[in-house]
C-alpha cells in the first residue's frame, strides 16, 4: 500500500495577510498510481483575483502543493 501525502501552503499577497497550511493523505494500491497522482497534483502558482470573470473579493496569494509517496 502506498500513501500520497499532500501538503498545501497558501501565503497572502498583502502585508496584513497570513499563511495557511493543510495536510491530506490518500491511499493507492501501487507506487505507479501514487506517483501519477503526485505528479498531477504537485505545483505552485499565483492566485490573482483579477483573472477571469468574477468579482475582486480577495487579495492575490501564492500557493504551493507538495506531494510525496511513501510505502506503508
pLDDT digits (tens, 9 = 90+) for 5-19: 999 999 987 777 789
Residue 54 has pLDDT above 90, yes or no: no
- List the one residue out of 64, 60, 57, 58 whose CA is nearest residue 22: 64
C-alpha pair distances (Å), 56 with each of 14, 16, 44, 51, 64: 14, 17, 21, 9, 22
Rg, the chain, Cα only: 15
* Overall average pLDDT of the 8-31 stretch: 90
pLDDT at position 57: 60
Whether the Cβ atoms of residue 65 and residue 41 lie closer than 8 Å to each other: yes
pLDDT tier at 52, thresholds 50, 70, 90: low
What is the C-alpha separation between 33 and 1, in angstroms, rounded?
Answer: 11
Higher pLDDT, 65 or 53: 65
* Overall average pLDDT of the 50-61 stretch: 65
Amino acid at each position: 500500500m502506498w500513501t500520497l501525502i499532500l501538503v498545501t501552503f497558501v501565503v497572502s499577497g498583502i502585508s496584513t495577510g497570513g499563511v495557511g497550511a493543510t495536510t491530506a493523505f490518500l491511499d493507492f494500491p501501487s507506487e505507479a498510481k501514487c506517483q501519477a497522482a503526485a505528479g498531477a497534483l504537485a505545483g505552485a502558482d499565483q492566485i490573482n483575483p483579477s483573472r477571469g470573470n468574477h468579482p475582486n473579493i480577495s487579495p492575490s496569494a501564492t500557493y504551493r502543493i507538495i506531494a510525496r509517496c511513501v510505502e506503508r
